[in-house]
Amino acid sequence: MPPQSHDLVRRSMSKIMLSDDLRNYLNRLPDVELDLLLEAYERPLPEAFRVNTLKASEEKILERLKSRGYSIESIPWARHGYVVSGGGDLGKSLEHMLGLIYIQGPVSMAPVEALDPRPGEVILDLCAAPGSKSTQIAQLLRGEGVLVANDISFDRVKALSSNLQRFGVLNCVITLVDGRKYPRFAKGFFDKVLVDAPCSSLGIISKNWGIARAWSIGIVERLSELQRRLILAAFDCLKPGGILVYSTCTLTVEENELVVNWLLENREGARVSEIRLKGLRHRPGITEYNGVRLRDEISKTMRIMPYDNWAEGFYIAKIVKEGG
């Protein structure tokens, strides 16, 4: 079959896989190239990992992997992050089982880089399970300071605990709490907070096409309400001068810019800060949607489409609590 025919087949399959509601929604989003988005959805996500410098030197771990046929390329925006190809199944490797590496998407590493954890800080990961970003925070703390890793689900906390233990994290407390209630006992306590919020996952459809089939605006609206409560709670847990990073792996404005805008309207001390991550292609946050004008500073947030880096789609906002 000629290449042009292959393209037509792929596009036809995509039209079948996306519901009319989702296709119409994506078409309404500003600055979305639907053909490119569908192409990104059809591509497998790149395999990537972080080297665990808490357990061994980065050089030695990379040498082990290269000696077994893995081709490795560093990720510009993520310390200790690499894209890998060749070799065997990384998930079955000894390095993975021993916690010498943590398998994680390349763009998924960006929110913690935006948070920029530093040794000695007290940091809350509000929606932590299964632990990819908690282990990343702990690694950058280098054993100094405290990480509080929280989740609402007992089953997910078990996975979180297992991953933190495998990674060799010692300076961490795990809590099992509804994140919306955290300010009741930790108001103004943390230097930094990460909210990697539950979302509709439109940035990672290539992992699971069921996401596209199950999507509805009703689900988005319910998630948006939860996300607003989580970001408000997270902000209230910050010390004056503290930093909050809010992220999702979805594309909807309701779960991204409108959530951050809602925080700005409900907390006078909240200010959006610019994010600088080397080599990560992105576009500014949307400041006008459905006839509603959002705060101008929303443009400082990061909207990352799957085809920007041919990897996961994400949204990242960095917010500073004034007064420090």
- How far CA 310 is from CA of 9, 17, 143, 265, in Å, comes to 21, 20, 34, 34
- CA 249, 252, 255, 261 dihedral sign is positive
- State the catalytic residues: 249
Distance of CA 159 to the CA centre of its chain: 18
Maximum separation of any 2 CA atoms in the chain, in Å: 64
DSSP H helices, 216-305, are: 217-236, 257-266
Cβ atoms of 270 and 321 closer than 8 Å:
yes
Query: Which is it for strands 122-125 and 70-74: parallel, antiparallel or unpaired?
Result: unpaired
Residue 35 and residue 121: Cα distance in Å, rounded?
Answer: 44
- The burial of 287, by beta-carbon neighbours within 10 Å (0-12 exposed, 13-18 middle, 19 or more buried), is given as middle
Please state, as a whole number, how many other Cβ atoms lie within 10 Å of the Cβ of residue 57: 10
Q: For residue 237, which of 75, 158, 125 has the smallest C-alpha distance?
A: 125
- How far CA 14 is from CA of 3, 5, 77, 212, 220, in Å, comes to 17, 14, 31, 10, 21
Residue 242 and residue 247: Cα distance in Å, rounded?
Answer: 17
Bridge partners of 86, per DSSP, are: 70
